[in-house]
Structure 1
Amino acid sequence: MDRIVRPATRADVAELSEVLGRAFYDDPPFVWVLPDDDVRRRKLAGLFRLLLTSVHLARGGCEVCVRDGRITAGTMWDPPDDWQTSTVTELMQLPSLMVLLGRHFFAGIRGLSALNLLADVHPHEPHWYLGVIGTDPAAQGGGFGRALMESRLSRCDETGIPAYLESSKESNIPYYERFGFEVRDKVTLPRGGPSIYPMWRDPAG
């Protein structure tokens, strides 16, 4: 099975957003923000499209894994010292977020408040930040996520730069531990929200 890992481009945004929307359909923080299953199914791809086009794609760390010409998985990595979204950018996102979410807009604002909690515990040391990694459910188990992880982490090891992520599922912690990540903290979102687990990885070697 051929797995091609390459940088994501603007031409990938539509397909990648759909893949990530399916991948994160049952993700606890998104279920917490958008508890209605049908609403979440219809809105997630748009949310990822907004994140890609307004923030992450321009930072140069997004990658996709492709099989037979189709995107099977993707990542949004942010480079050292460029992981935090400015207040100006967040304000610029609001009109698009209002159009996308409609009457669910304030649920989206609740999600942004959760991001602020995670920002409070985000490490200050230079690192590559894995904000998003997702595989299309139809392709899970095919090694596509592993290929994406190894693509970036091998470069982290070559350059001696740590990596950081937040696991939104406790059940995913062993998966990340296999790549050398260790749990650093536990952040529980308010109003009955799920727990999220910040994880850190020192470069190998």
Structure 2
Amino acid sequence: MNATTALVPSVFDLNTTSRRALAVALGAGFVALLAQVALPLPFTPVPVTLQTLGVLLAGAALGSRLGAQALLLYLAAGAAGLPVFAGGGAGVGWLAGPTGGYLLGFVAAAWLAGALVERFAADRRPLPAFLAMLAAGAAIYAFGLAGLAGWMALAGKTVSLPGLLALGFWPFALGDLLKAGLAAVLLPAAWKGLGRSGRI
């Protein structure tokens, strides 16, 4: 299958550095905005947030390169002290804490979502979009669970694999399925609404 272009580069002319930088900044800002919707859970250090939905949409809409850059900018802004992490969190300590692996996984997830869009046009129809969002979400969990296990080991806490999944996967699995489904509806709808309007 021939390579395709993600939604934002298809609709908007990103041939200048300033426009690409603006697209990256808007993607980072979108994730930061959704990160403010956060629900702490009493039994795990990992909160429920909407930022993962932002990661999936930013990666798929911007494409692999710009999507990954947007999430790198998001992490840099949070590490520098801007309150962009879950619930207004900030500081480099977040990258070394229990959610640090998830945050780093955002970059991989955005890149993967964009790559699947570019390779398979996975954002044009709901089912391929849903599968692409699940794959990108799996990347977040791979990094997140590894980071959570490492953080617990450094803190002197031992946890079994079932215990790790109980802390860092099962409480969020249903919500992330719903977010993947929502993204799979929004992306094809955006193509129908914007993709036919011509380049801006």
Q: TM-score, normalised to structure 2's length?
A: 0.35
Greater RCO, CA 8 A, separation 6+: 2
More strand by share: 1
More helix by share: 2
Q: TM-score, normalised to structure 1's length?
A: 0.35
